[in-house]
C-alpha cells in the first residue's frame, strides 16, 4: 500500500463527458472486484478488465488501487451526506422516536448495498488527510443538527445535549457499520428497533435526581 499522499490522489479529473463515463466505469468495476475478490486480490488488472479499459487507460486516472479505494470511500461518504442533507430539508416528525428511527434507517440504507465492499473500505481504506477532514466535517454537521433537535424537542429530558448528540451520531454510525460489514448476516429490522429503543429510553428517561427520589427504607 502506498504511503505518499500524492499516491492516493487521482491523476486527472475528467473534463469531458466521455472521460467522466470512463472514470465512473472504473470505479463501478473496482467496487465489484473488491467485493468479489477482496482487496489483496483485487488488482488493477482485474479492475481494468472488468471496466473494459486498458490498464494504461486506468493508470491515466488512478496511480494505483489505493487511490481508487479512496475515491470509492469518498463517494460512499458523499452519498450518505447527501441523503442526510435532504432529510434535514424536511419537517421532522413530531415523535422523537420517529426522528431517531429516521436516523437509524438512513444509516442502515446507506450501508446495506454491499457489506463485502464495506468491509474492504473499513479494513483497507487509506486514511488520507483529505479523507479524514471530510469525515470530521460530516460528523460535525450531524452532531450540530442532532444537538439542535435535542434542545428543542419537548420529549427530551437528557441534560447534556452536546454529549448526547455526539453519542447518538457516533454510535449509530459505528454500530451500523460494524454489524452490517461483519461476516454473517443481521436482521436489519431488529437492528433498527433495538437501536431506536436504546436511544429513546436514553434521551427521554426521567432525570436522575427525580428517579432517585422516593421513600428511604426504614423511614416511618
H helices within the chain, ranges in order? 17-41, 44-51, 55-61, 65-88, 96-111, 115-124, 129-152, 161-181, 188-204, 208-212
CA atoms within 13 A on the CB side of 189: 0
Task: Give the SS3 label for residue 6.
Answer: helix
Q: What is the mean pLDDT of the chain?
A: 84
Q: Which of 138, 120, 10 is nearest to 78 (CA)?
A: 138
pTM of the model: 0.72
**pLDDT tens for each residue of 191-219:** 999 999 999 999 999 876 444 555 555 55
Most confident option among 78-82, 99-103, 107-111, 115-119: 99-103
Q: How would residue 10 be classed by pLDDT, with cut points 50, 70 and 90?
A: low
**pLDDT tens for each residue of 13-28:** 656 778 889 999 999 9
Amino acid at each position: 500500500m502506498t504511503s505518499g499522499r500524492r499516491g492516493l490522489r487521482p491523476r486527472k479529473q475528467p473534463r469531458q463527458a466521455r472521460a467522466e463515463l470512463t472514470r465512473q466505469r472504473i470505479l463501478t468495476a473496482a467496487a465489484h472486484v473488491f467485493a468479489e475478490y477482496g482487496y489483496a486480490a483485487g488488482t488493477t488488472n482485474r479492475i481494468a478488465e472488468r471496466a473494459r479499459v486498458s490498464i494504461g487507460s486506468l493508470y491515466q486516472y488512478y496511480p494505483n488501487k489505493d487511490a481508487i479505494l479512496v475515491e470509492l470511500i469518498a463517494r460512499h461518504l458523499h452519498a450518505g451526506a447527501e441523503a442526510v442533507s435532504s432529510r434535514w430539508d424536511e419537517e421532522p416528525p413530531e415523535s422523537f422516536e420517529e426522528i431517531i428511527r429516521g436516523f437509524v434507517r438512513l444509516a442502515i440504507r446507506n450501508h446495506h448495498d454491499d457489506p463485502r465492499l464495506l468491509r474492504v473500505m473499513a479494513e483497507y481504506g487509506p486514511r488520507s488527510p483529505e479523507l479524514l477532514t471530510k469525515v470530521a466535517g460530516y460528523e460535525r454537521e450531524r452532531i450540530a443538527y442532532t444537538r439542535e433537535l435535542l434542545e428543542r424537542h419537548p420529549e427530551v429530558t437528557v441534560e447534556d445535549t452536546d454529549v448526547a448528540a455526539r453519542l447518538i451520531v457516533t454510535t449509530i454510525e459505528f454500530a451500523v457499520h460494524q454489524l452490517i460489514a461483519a461476516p454473517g448476516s443481521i436482521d436489519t429490522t431488529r437492528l433498527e428497533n433495538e437501536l431506536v429503543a436504546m436511544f429513546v429510553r436514553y434521551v427521554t428517561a426521567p432525570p436522575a435526581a427525580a428517579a432517585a427520589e422516593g421513600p428511604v427504607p426504614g423511614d416511618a
